[in-house]
Structure 1
Amino acid sequence: MYSRHKLPTNRLVVLHQLLLLPLSVYFKHSNSRQFHIRTQTSKRVGPHNSDVISVLVGCLLGDAYSTKSKSPVPGTSFRFKQSGRHKDYLFSLYDFFYNRGYCTNSGPRQYKTILINSSNVKKTHYGYEFDLFTFSSLNWLFDLFYVNGIKTISPEISQYLTPMSLAYLIMDDGGWVSGSKSVRIATNNFTLQEVQLLRDIFKTNFDLDCTIQLLSKCKANSPKDKYSLYIKVASLPRLRELVLPYMVPSMKYKLGL
């Protein structure tokens, strides 16, 4: 078990045992589950379809984030947020979870962010976001990704990272670099060691060759250097083969298409 996770002893054992099991043991592969809004957190116990876990893992490696309540019953929820430019993707993601009973029928809500640039000029940005229901049966996923409230990458993630996960990671936080004809994944919130681990997982799981590039050195008010992961041009045909079946049409430009 990943030693950085601070869990009560009994839950540590359960999570450790869970992470040693193949996906087929714990997750369903058919028959969508429905979780009603009035269902208590403790009653939302799964099992969860493997595609749901794949999407959650991919998005958590990207821009999505998760929180875990402490009482009366610990439960984990997830929030998905994208700029207005990526509205089609965000609404497609909402439909994915809504059709499986993981969120309400109210649809994504619009949010507004006001940013001030270096010239002290304000600019308003709009986007969309939505939340999933809170699940006690997904606490293990929160514990897998978060240590002391900080999102991390641990070795155990490798067994949950599927081609579908990779597609959603690219749609969520990837980009096409026209100059080098490569795909960049914004891993700037992770440490160098974590980005190196993700690079190795990409090679082991998908036979994708990647490089790591330093974006910026840490400043006095920044805790760490920032790095991005680049999938090499030689691996582009393999990457497209893996993820195209899951890509939203409006996001295929991130693969140079």
Structure 2
Amino acid sequence: MSKKYTEDNYKEWEDLYNEGKNYVEIGASFNADPSYIRKVLIQKGVATRNPVRFTEEDFLMWERLYQDGRSFDAVGKEYEVSGGYVRKILKKRGVEARSKSSFSEEDFNRWVALYNEGVSIKDSALEYKSDFRTIKKKIEPHVKIRVNGAKISKEEKEEWIDLYQYGFSINEIGKLYDISRQVVTIFLNSNDVDTSRGINMTADLIREWEEKHLGGWSIHKIAVTYGCDSSTVKSYFDKNNIEYTLREAIVPDPPTEEELKRWEQMYSERVSADKIAEIEGVDRKRIRYFLNKMGVELRTSNEAKLSKPHLLNAEPSYIQKQVIIGSLLGDGCADTRGRLIIGHSEKQVEWLEQKRDWLGELVYDNGIKRSVKNGYKIGSIKYTLNTVPNQFIKKLRAESYLSTGGRDISSLIPHVDALALAVLFGDDGHYMNRGRGSGGISTYGFSEEQNALLAEHLHTKLNIDCKVSRHKKVFEDKGKKFYYGIYIRSSGMQVMRELIAPYLPNSMKYKIGLNR
């Protein structure tokens, strides 16, 4: 029996089976092959359910599944009987078996191409509604069939974990070891390595990926930014007939001894793997992989070049938390490593300096950085600052960033006090110089419901009289679209001015109608 599962697992399988679950459902819960579960339960003396108890309704469902393209084996596996039994029943009912030659030469070529890309025969069989043996027989003369996972040594399999953690995709690992990515995935999952990297796909998100790629982003950068695997991005590009450019696959052939010594020396001198990769003209994954093989203790991505690693798990102060929350609602953003990134124009450098002072030690060593924009508003000057990675920031990002690319700020709103509001208003607020002076917050990136939650919080907790405002914008290609923000009545503006004025530097007080 497999060493991967314990006697406790076997007992759970037995209980689930006796409760009415089938082998397929149990297998899905434990990431185990249903046929293996059946074998274990038979060895344990568990009486299997009698297949002759199927109803007419079941047989009709078998017909429909088979006519929809499922194989006899696939139908049998779902109903816990052999494919031969399904074939026998359907033959008696006059269902004609499909001819194995129903696929075209183009299909055969596609199977070969998919297999060479790391797609398993099983996945191709599911996609083409065929059976495993048909596809294997057709591609065997043209490809080298990958070895079974059982023939890979334990040491090699453990190396998969290192490769995956240092940036190699499951697809790349499969190619390196000449094995299917499914075998790699099962092994990683069985060793508690999270390989989900899932993402809720929408047409808008795929279009956004396409625009990013056309703008120069690599497949790898898109995958890292959106929290998925490179193969996921390529898969959706293929499905939507989107052309893309791939860099040559990375095969970790050993570098020379001289190269290794040079890399180790630079890394010991605090040069990052990214910088070494840039100097050497190779991929950072290659640098990190071979440094690790040499026994070099690698700095994690969360340590941001080992700048203040002691702050990674440190609890931020109240002021730091308020600035982080206000920035995430305003002009700041958090990356997957748990860093807060804030950018402002040249006119708001004093405002950025104020945030730097509030954030204190959390700010990365290089402080405020000046750069020239290459995208929107080409040539304009931008100033940015980054914090070092911190688990509090990473937690807020996980709670407020959606995999679809949107935001959900409902978990941030209850923590907004006067300082967080000052940061938000300094970023996105504006004063309306009419009547007694009202104001607004351009929280257009959030939904109407989230703006309503924010308005309610400002009213009940901070006594600011405000409401949700709606704004219409007309696009030539998309028609009209509505955006939502916060409108602050003049009475609310007076209350808010008293609350946040002490936090705003002189250069920003025009936002609340002062120093105009």
Fold in common (TM above 0.5): yes
Quote the offset at 1:217 in angstroms.
Answer: 3.9
Partner of 1:78: 340
User: Relative to total residues, which structure has the larger helix share, 1 or 2?
Assistant: 2
Distance 2:423 2:390 in 1: 21
State the secondary structure of the residue aligned to 1:38: coil
Aligned AA for 2:335?
T
Structure 2 residue 205 is matched with structure 1 residue 205: no
Contact 1:210 1:231 in 2 (8 A): yes
Aligned AA for 1:152?
D
* 1:155-179, Cα deviation, whole Å (9 max, x unpaired): x323311111001111111111213
Distance 2:333 2:374 in 1: 21
Change (3 A) 1:115 1:66: closer
Aligned AA for 2:446?
F
Distance 1:63 1:197 in 2: 19
Partner of 1:54: 322
Change (3 A) 1:56 1:249: same
Distance 2:306 2:480 in 1: 42
- Work out which of the two has the higher radius of gyration on C-alpha atoms and give 1 or 2: 2
Partner of 1:95: 357
Distance 1:55 1:165 in 2: 6
Partner of 1:193: 449
Contact 1:158 1:205 in 2 (8 A): no
Contact 2:472 2:480 in 1 (8 A): no
* 1:24-62, Cα deviation, whole Å (9 max, x unpaired): xxxxxxxxxxx9973575862112211111111111111
Aligned AA for 1:129?
T
Distance 2:375 2:390 in 1: 34
Distance 1:49 1:95 in 2: 13
TM-score (normalizing by structure 1): 0.72
Alignment identity in percent? 23
Q: Which structure ranks higher in relative contact order (CA pairs < 8 Å, sequence separation ≥ 6)?
A: 1
Distance 1:204 1:174 in 2: 20
Contact 1:67 1:77 in 2 (8 A): yes
Contact 1:53 1:160 in 2 (8 A): no
Matches within 5 A, 1:10-159: 38=306, 44-69=312-337, 76-97=338-359, 100-113=360-373, 124-148=379-403, 149-154=405-410, 156-159=411-414
Contact 2:323 2:358 in 1 (8 A): no
Partner of 2:235: none
Distance 1:236 1:110 in 2: 34
* Long gaps (5+) in structure 1: 1-7, 9-34, 70-75, 117-121
Match of 2:472 among 197, 209, 216: 216
Equivalenced residue count is 210
Distance 2:459 2:325 in 1: 17
* Long gaps (5+) in structure 2: 1-193, 195-302
Distance 2:414 2:467 in 1: 22
Contact 1:36 1:101 in 2 (8 A): no
TM-score (normalizing by structure 2): 0.38
Distance 2:348 2:308 in 1: 32
